[in-house]
Structure 1
Amino acid sequence: MGSTFHGVIAFALMAGLLAVGSLLRSRLGFLRASLVPGSIVAGVIGFILLSSDLIPGYGPSDFTALAFHFFTLSFMSLCLTGGAKPANGEAKQGIVGGGLWLTLIWTASLGAQAVIGFALMAGYDLLSGSDLSPLLGAIVTHGFTQGPGQALTYGTIWENDYGIANAAQVGVIFASLGFVAAFVVGVPAARYFLKRGLNSNRESTLDADFISGFHAPTQQPIAGKQVSHSGTVDSLAWHIGLLGIAYVITYVWLTAMQPLVAGSQVLSVFFSYNLFFIHGLTVCVLMRLAIDRFGWSSKVDDDTLKRITSGSVDFMVVATIMSIQIAVLSALLVPIILVAVVVTLVTFLGAMAIGKLSGRLGPERAVTAFGCCCGSTGTGLLLLRMLDADFSTAVPKELAFFNIAIIVANIPTLFFFSPIAPMLGTWKYLAIFGGYAVVALACIPLLLKWQRRRANHPPSTEEPNPT
């Protein structure tokens, strides 16, 4: 049985470090002040231990697969969760409008980061005499705007199928730097808006629970409902079982399709296990539609699924940072830092400028979009909570629309062009991703016009009226 422990202990190490990192975050003043999540603290500790050879028998590669699967689980559980319902007469059209602003920022960021990263890496090659692939710079967009899972997924495809050396590792490094950028830049920006009273939620403050990282005993919220009797099956096990069904269906689907598409290079990439998350989220969307259609929604608790999503994101962050290979980071430190700094600056300025145009909830949308473009939706929510502690504005619900809209709006780039980017060539790649950014920015006047028309002839208020 001893041979079975290696993978289990790798997961146990992550879990233990997550507990230690969260406790340190709650105890050390400088970590509390930074509001850095415990998962990042845990990942950094793990990275230092692995880089110093202080965890015998384990290396960064032991955590790469865990990062991939926790990323996949986070997406699949999110898609299995029911959609948010407008409450208290809330204007659905208002939420769509705000969600479109968030989608516009994210789409523009996706294209702009790719072009900037590509150009900077090509420029670095020219000045230094290096022979690095410009796509090592372009993958910053998958690490920043999309997050660790996609960076690892696309990087692995580029590396294994097209020979782009270290693409997966560089993508993971950019993803880790994206989380750092979100908090190093995003937290001061949120505090700026908060101190000047520019946020809409006047009751929002940095409460003690948020700063400490743990809820006081009298303030601990209830998360999730027991939908199954424990005499039959534990409710958490039931929900994990639903995800297990989706996982198996996705695996069987890909296994069956791969021999059928073996003759096509593009389709072979699309139906590879590296893009498991795309097929998995599709399966979960269809499962959720079936659950709602047949009246089984009472047997699924959305709060429990949200906990699974959040927990998977925490483990994904830890595994991502622990997956960094110090040798790759050291060898490419200068171009990686150059790309990360410029992309952070451009993304921040773009989010602030476009967010300001979006209307009354501009500050909230700006910091939220910046967080989403440097890490994940969870990062955006954490920054939003600084300005909207009880999530009473429409922005959290706009994010629900946003998560669907960005996938629909970016199907060509995310599902077709990104996996085969090395096949496209320089000018075609820049035209596609740069074109997407230009189209997104060109939509700003249209969205402003629609916003003014709604203001002059409002169908309903953007947020619920107090009763």
Structure 2
Amino acid sequence: MGSTFPGVIAFALIAALLVAGSLLRSRLSWLRASLIPGSIVAGIIGFVGLSAGLIPGYGPSDFTALAFHFFTLSFMSLCLTGSPKPAAGEQRQGIVGGGLWLTLIWTASLGAQAVIGYGLMAGYDLITDSDLSPLLGAIVTHGFTQGPGQALTYGTIWENDYGIANAAQVGVIFASLGFVAAFLVGVPAARHFLKRGLNANRHSTLDDDFVRGFHTPETQPSAGRQVSHAGTVDSLAWHLGLLGVAYVITYAWLSAMQPLVAGNQVLSVFFSYNLFFIHGLTVCVLMRMAIDRFGWAAKVDDDTLKRITSGSVDFMVVATLMSIQIAVLSALLVPILLIAVAVTTVTFFGAMAIGKLSGRLGPERAVTAFGCCCGSTGTGLLLLRMLDADFSTSVPKELAFFNIAIIVVNIPTLFFVAPIAPSLGAWSYLAIFGGYVILMLICIPLLLKWQRSRGNRTAPIQEPNPS
């Protein structure tokens, strides 16, 4: 049985680090003041431990797959969760409208980050007389806006088919730095909105429990309801079983499609296991539609699914930070940090400026979009959780729409251009990704006009009247 332990212990290490990181965050005053999630603290501890050889028998590659699957699980569980019901008299921008704003920010970021990364790496080569491929800078957009799974996908293609050394690992490093940047910048932004009461969910505040990281016995909220009798099956096991059904269906679907699309590079990428979460997300949306259509909603507890979503995000963040290889990071430290800082700055101001236009949930969308563009959608969920602790606004569901919309909108860049990017000339690559940025800027007034035509008038974020 000894051979069965490595994978289980890798998961147990992540879980144990979450405990250690959360306790440190609760005990150390400077960590409490920063409001950085315990998962980030845990991931940094794990990264340092692996880099220093303090976790014998394990390396960064042992945690890459776990990061991928927890990311997938977080969104499949979110899409199984029912739509939030608005309170009586509540006026709220529709999920489609909000999802379009998130899609616009993400798509503009995808193009801008690619251009910035490519340009800065090319400039670094000229100044230092290095011989690095500019695409090692451009892959920042796949690491930041898409996360470790997609950075690995494209990086591996570039590495194996076009000979760009370390492309996959540089992509993972950018994805990990994106997580760190999202919280170093995103947490203070979220705290700014919280302190001024600009978030819609009034249950999310900077109270003592939030700062401390743990609830007192008097303030502990419910974590969901039991929908199945324990004599038949535990309720948590039931909900994990529903996700298991979706996982099996998605795996069977991809396994059936892959032989049919073999030989077509674009379709092979789309139906690869690296894009499992897109297909799994769609399966879960269809499953939820069937659950609601046939009156089975009473057999699904949305709060339990939200806990699975949040927990999966925590595990995913730790695993991703532990996937960084210190050797590659140290060798390319200067250009990687230069690109990461530039991309984070541009992405933050872009997300805040566009999010401000999107309406009453502008703070939630701005912070969420920034997280999505500097790590993954899971990072956006973590930042959103600061402003919307129980996911009661429409923004989590907007994220579900957004995850489908960004694929549709970005089919040319993600499935035609990105896989063959090394074969393109510099100006062709920059024109394609830069063109997407310009297109998204043109779409801003069109989206505002469409909102107003539907009665969803937007207004800039205003400071609340102290009176």
TM-score (norm 1): 0.88
Contact 2:313 2:379 in 1 (8 A): no
Contact 1:115 1:138 in 2 (8 A): yes
Moved more, 200-209 or 435-444: 200-209
Q: d(CA) in 2 for partners of 1:456 and 1:41?
A: 40
Decide whether aligned partners of structure 1 residues 29 and 152 sit closer, same or farther in structure 2, where only a CA change above 3 A counts. farther
Decide whether aligned partners of structure 1 residues 127 and 389 sit closer, same or farther in structure 2, where only a CA change above 3 A counts. same
The answer to whether 1:56 aligns with 2:56 is yes
SS in 2 for 1:131: coil
Decide whether aligned partners of structure 1 residues 73 and 162 sit closer, same or farther in structure 2, where only a CA change above 3 A counts. farther
SS in 1 for 2:218: helix
Q: Which residue identity does 1:300 align to in structure 2?
A: V
SS in 1 for 2:248: helix
Q: d(CA) in 1 for partners of 2:193 and 2:389?
A: 14
Q: d(CA) in 2 for partners of 1:227 and 1:274?
A: 34
2:464 paired residue number: none
Q: d(CA) in 2 for partners of 1:68 and 1:193?
A: 31
Give a deviation string over 1:322-350, Cα, whole Å, max 9, x none.
Answer: 11110000011111101100001111121
Task: Compute the displacement of 1:352 (Å).
Answer: 2.4
Decide whether aligned partners of structure 1 residues 127 and 53 sit closer, same or farther in structure 2, where only a CA change above 3 A counts. same
Q: d(CA) in 2 for partners of 1:35 and 1:439?
A: 36
Task: Compute the displacement of 1:375 (Å).
Answer: 2.8
Decide whether aligned partners of structure 1 residues 3 and 263 sit closer, same or farther in structure 2, where only a CA change above 3 A counts. same
Q: Which residues of 2 match residues 340-419 of structure 1 at below 5 A?
A: 340-359=340-359, 361-384=361-384, 398-399=398-399, 401-419=401-419
Q: d(CA) in 2 for partners of 1:350 and 1:208?
A: 32
Moved more, 87-96 or 127-136: 87-96
Q: d(CA) in 2 for partners of 1:61 and 1:82?
A: 35
Task: Compute the displacement of 1:291 (Å).
Answer: 2.7
Q: Which residues of 2 match residues 293-372 of structure 1 at below 5 A?
A: 293-359=293-359, 361-372=361-372
Q: Which residues of 2 match residues 402-441 of structure 1 at below 5 A?
A: 402-441=402-441
Q: d(CA) in 2 for partners of 1:280 and 1:398?
A: 17
Decide whether aligned partners of structure 1 residues 279 and 161 sit closer, same or farther in structure 2, where only a CA change above 3 A counts. farther
Task: Compute the displacement of 1:182 (Å).
Answer: 1.8
The answer to whether 1:26 aligns with 2:26 is yes
SS in 2 for 1:217: coil
Moved more, 60-69 or 295-304: 295-304
1:464 paired residue number: none
2:462 paired residue number: none
2:211 paired residue number: 211
Identity %: 86
Task: Compute the displacement of 1:315 (Å).
Answer: 1.2
Gaps of 5+ in 1: 459-467
Q: d(CA) in 1 for partners of 2:228 and 2:415?
A: 37
Decide whether aligned partners of structure 1 residues 281 and 155 sit closer, same or farther in structure 2, where only a CA change above 3 A counts. farther
1:271 paired residue number: 271
Give a deviation string over 1:210-238, Cα, whole Å, max 9, x none.
Answer: 11111121111112222222212112212
Task: Compute the displacement of 1:51 (Å).
Answer: 0.8
The answer to whether 1:169 aligns with 2:197 is no
Decide whether aligned partners of structure 1 residues 93 and 186 sit closer, same or farther in structure 2, where only a CA change above 3 A counts. closer
Contact 2:36 2:187 in 1 (8 A): no
Q: Which residue identity does 1:219 align to in structure 2?
A: T
Contact 1:250 1:276 in 2 (8 A): yes
Task: Compute the displacement of 1:184 (Å).
Answer: 1.7
Moved more, 340-349 or 426-435: 426-435
The answer to whether 1:104 aligns with 2:104 is yes
Decide whether aligned partners of structure 1 residues 204 and 76 sit closer, same or farther in structure 2, where only a CA change above 3 A counts. closer
Q: d(CA) in 2 for partners of 1:260 and 1:332?
A: 40
Task: Compute the displacement of 1:246 (Å).
Answer: 2.2
Task: Compute the displacement of 1:317 (Å).
Answer: 0.9
Q: d(CA) in 2 for partners of 1:278 and 1:12?
A: 27
Moved more, 56-65 or 186-195: 186-195
Q: Which residues of 2 match residues 31-50 of structure 1 at below 5 A?
A: 31-50=31-50
1:83 paired residue number: 83
Q: Which residue identity does 2:255 align to in structure 1?
A: T
Decide whether aligned partners of structure 1 residues 274 and 450 sit closer, same or farther in structure 2, where only a CA change above 3 A counts. closer
Decide whether aligned partners of structure 1 residues 65 and 377 sit closer, same or farther in structure 2, where only a CA change above 3 A counts. closer
Task: Compute the displacement of 1:441 (Å).
Answer: 0.9
Q: d(CA) in 2 for partners of 1:206 and 1:374?
A: 24
TM-score (norm 2): 0.88
1:9 paired residue number: 9
Q: d(CA) in 2 for partners of 1:56 and 1:33?
A: 33
1:258 paired residue number: 258
Q: Which residue identity does 2:82 align to in structure 1?
A: G
Moved more, 108-117 or 145-154: 145-154
Gaps of 5+ in 2: 459-467
Q: d(CA) in 2 for partners of 1:224 and 1:107?
A: 35
